[in-house]
Structure 1
Amino acid sequence: MGIFRRPRDTSAVTPPAISEFWDWWAQARPTIEASLASGPDRPEPDPAEFDTADIDMSELDSVDVDAAEADASEPGGGLSAEAMEELSRRIHKINPGLLWEIGGAEDRAPSLTVTGGGNPELRGITERWVRAAPTGPAAAGWTFHPARQPDPEMLGQDLILGDHEFDLEYVRLGMRADADRARVHLTAYHPDFLFVADEQRIQVALNVLHWALGEDDVARWVGEVSIATEAPIDSLPPSMLPSVVEQISEPFSEPAWLTGEGRTPRGHPARLGARFPLHRQDYPLCDLHVAISVPYANSNPDRLPVEPSSGALRAFEKKLGKLGDRAVLAVRETGDGLRVFHLYVDPDSGVISELDQLTAGWAEGKAKLASTSDPGWKALAPYQP
């Protein structure tokens, strides 16, 4: 049973560069719109680099969507090189790992997307960026997104990567449902995969998945992605992927808990409960891991809680569940006279002070609260199937 003992950390995580960006955007937007209208003036993008042809979307760190999509969709002819450079500089000042793209067309409003490229550690930053964006008349017709949005129309277009043009009408996906992990494992095929390098194959697959589902739903529900040079048996067009994901996700419309048993370091029985599935994308501002260690006074010979302590622990947990989207209870560990509640919380919401008060009010011993920044939810990984 892994009890977390970490230093206290309640620091805010909103970079000042976010407000600086929006101050600059208000002044620069007319210039950017003029650049979009005047036509492209930029160098040919280099393809993104990848090391493998097999991808686990739940572990993917970063994908260069700018390079992958630059020639696939250029509303208004594309930004000038000067405008691209300045926009990149401003966004990279927020975090150098962020990527961006401008979307829209003659019949759609312009949009600006800033994304962490699949890196869960950056999802909170992009969410804070979009929540600071102008709204209403101040947005001047623009929409802003913290992750790539689904765009099914792109699935019927051509995607140019380097010197190769892919007709996406020929993409097929082999789909295998994994109910135990609440994911869909995919095999991506295009007849041109025979003639291009792995880097281009993977870029095609990632773009297709994002256009079919959107970046957040890819992270939620897509598991392993493999590349095939022969069409998988019973493969389907990417347009069918949302329907398959809907079938996988339907049983988990209500929160569920996985339970397990083990042994404490002292050899006594231990009980574990983990919320499943629990997606980082559903709580994008919750970058802080909090462990609340609560001793209980009444236990059986195995050192597991009995009444009245078990009832008090249930009441304590019920209060944790009333914190809304400012905090989410992810795991509970019980054994050796101690229950540890693991939560992810929004450090800017003020919820830490409420948790401090709740912890201080525990009547069966001295409860302790420890917190540490964990924007990638790495501490949760050992508890997921």
Structure 2
Amino acid sequence: MRLFGRKSEPVEPAEAIDDFWTWWRETRPRIDAHVEAEEAEALAELIGGAVTALHPDLVWEIAPGRTARHALVVSASGDPELRSFAHRWALAAPAADDLWEFHPSRQANPQAAELAVEVGGREFGLEGLVLGLRVPPGTPRVDVSAFHPIFPDIDDETRMEATLIALDWLLGEDEVARWVGDIVAAEFEPIDAIPAIHLPAVVADVAGGFKDEQWALLEGQTATGGRLIAAARYPLRPVDYPLFDQHITITVPYEHSDEDGLPSGASLQGLRDFEERLAGRLGKLGSAVLAAHLSAEGNRVLHVYADPAGDSALLLKELAGTWQEGRPRVDVENDPSWSAVAHFLT
């Protein structure tokens, strides 16, 4: 099969995903037999080769399922360039059954308190893990300082790996990306540390303050020293929109501006009306989101992220064509890491 051949030739993601699931269907009896026989090494060789062929930077594991006995997890492991790939892999998966379900990121484990793994030749579990937690006022993040009795005896990299494993057990990979800020794997126990098992409750409390749509208003300067104002979704995180890796930039010039080059009068009202129509269009599409917009020096730039499988780019070009104050420009590019709005990411 092509899945295991011609590795030097580039393969389109959709083609690689189709190949993987064709392979899975054909190999499923062997996979199930290895699982039943608890033949971990043979299973790792079989599935590991297929995932490597899917993309060499993806990681995988077999974990307890939510409803099935087992879950196959194929994850980007925090790599924003691969997040949409992993999610499209999961969308193409066969329906879950009694034995298997499929996830594009590590899931929280309801038995996390009972789990333990070997780390640096020592047993590592949540029973001995404590966390120092800090929530900077008004922010959607929990900073974590983790300590376990084995940490003084292992190196920095191993401590951090163990900490990340524990956070994934407690929250799930995507929730860590959403709500956890700075992570420190400490050699000494933090002051006022609490048992790690309480982390989900702290995160839930923080998340409760950001249920409704919020926008942050910001002000700055352009490269030439002009005044710039911006608005961005808050929190703004690519993990919330894993399939939206197409960046659509809409630049609309405006005729009426104040002495700082910012929109005023009829142009300000026109921009508000345009954004209302844009919001309505995006709401109907359901496959795109306005992430941020900036105004300066006679132009408003709107940053939209969309699922490239949809018609968002075409429909937004049509909408831009209705703008009356000068000729708008629409640019479309691939940007899975949302680098164009990096300054606004939270």
Q: TM-score, normalised by structure 2?
A: 0.90
Map of 2:100 onto structure 1: 142
Aligned partner of 2:9 in structure 1 is none
Change beyond 3 A, Cα 1:27–1:162:
farther
Equivalence for 1:52: none
Q: For residue 311 of structure 1, what is the aligned residue in structure 2? A: 269
- 2:188 is aligned with 1:235: no
Over 3 Å counting, the alpha-carbon distance change for 1:175 and 1:290 in structure 2 is same
Q: Tell me the residue number matched to 2:237.
A: 279
Alignment root-mean-square deviation, CA: 2.0
Structure 2 partner of 1:110: 70
Letter aligned with residue 330 of structure 1:
A
SS at match of 1:281: helix
Q: Distance in 1 between matches of 2:88 and 2:278?
A: 24
Q: 1:232 to 1:266 in 2, by over 3 A?
A: closer
Task: Output one character per residue of 1:220-265: Cα deviation in whole Å (capped at 9) or x when no partner.
Answer: 1101111222222221122211111112122211121111223334
Which whole-Å CA distance do the structure 1 matches of 2:172 and 2:98 have between them?
Answer: 24
The alpha-carbon distance between structure 1 residues 356 and 191, as it changes in their structure 2 partners (threshold 3 A), is same
The question of whether the paired residues in 2 share the 8 Å contact of 1:179 and 1:248 is answered with no
Tell me, yes or no, if the aligned pair for 1:259 and 1:273 is still in contact at 8 Å: yes
Q: Which residue is 2:203 aligned to?
A: 245
* Distance in 2 between residues matched to 1:207 and 1:155, nearest whole Å: 13
Equivalent residue number for residue 342 of structure 1 = 303
Q: How far 1:108 sits from its partner (Å)?
A: 5.3
Tell me, yes or no, if structure 1 residue 156 matches structure 2 residue 156. no
Number of residue pairs the alignment of both structures matches: 332
State the AA in 1 paired with 2:184.
Answer: S
Alpha-carbon contact 2:20-2:50 (below 8 Å) kept = yes
For residues 179 and 14 of structure 1, do their structure 2 counterparts lie closer, same or farther at Cα, with a shift above 3 Å needed? farther
CA contact (8 A) 2:237 2:345 kept: no
- Give percent identity, aligned residues only: 39
For 1:207, the equivalent position in structure 2 comes to 165
Task: Show the counterpart of 1:38.
Answer: 37
Mapped partners of 1:99, 1:87: distance in 2: 11
CA positional deviation for 1:14: 4.2
Aligned to 2:335: 374
Gaps spanning 5+ residues in structure 1: where? 1-12, 41-78
* Correspondence for 1:90: 50
Q: 1:161 offset after TM fit, Å?
A: 2.6
Q: Supply the distance in 1 between the matched residues of 2:334 and 2:53 (Cα, whole angstroms).
A: 21
Q: Distance in 2 between matches of 1:207 and 1:363?
A: 54
Cα 1:110/1:167, change in 2 over 3 Å: closer
Counterpart for residue 51 of structure 1: none
Q: Give deviations 1:151-208, integer Å, cap 9, x for gaps.
A: 0313322211352222431100110012343111111111111222223211221111
SS of the aligned residue for 1:191 comes to coil
Q: Is the 8 A contact 2:74 2:86 kept in 1?
A: yes
Distance in 2 separating the partners of 1:233 and 1:214: 26
| Runs of 5+ consecutive residues of structure 2 not aligned to the other structure | 1-11
Flag the 1:279–1:264 CA change in 2: closer, same or farther, 3 A.
closer
Whichever residue aligns with residue 206 of structure 1, its letter is L
Measure how far apart 1:268 and its partner are.
3.4
Indicate if the aligned counterparts of 1:15 and 1:94 stay in contact, CA closer than 8 A. Answer: no
1:24 paired to 2:37: no
For CA contacts below 8 A with separation 6 or more, give which structure has more relative contact order.
1
Give the match for residue 383 of structure 1: 344
After TM superposition, the score normalised by the length of structure 1 is 0.81
Distance in 1 (CA, whole Å) between partners of 2:61 and 2:16 is 19
Q: Letter of the 2:302 partner, please give it.
A: F
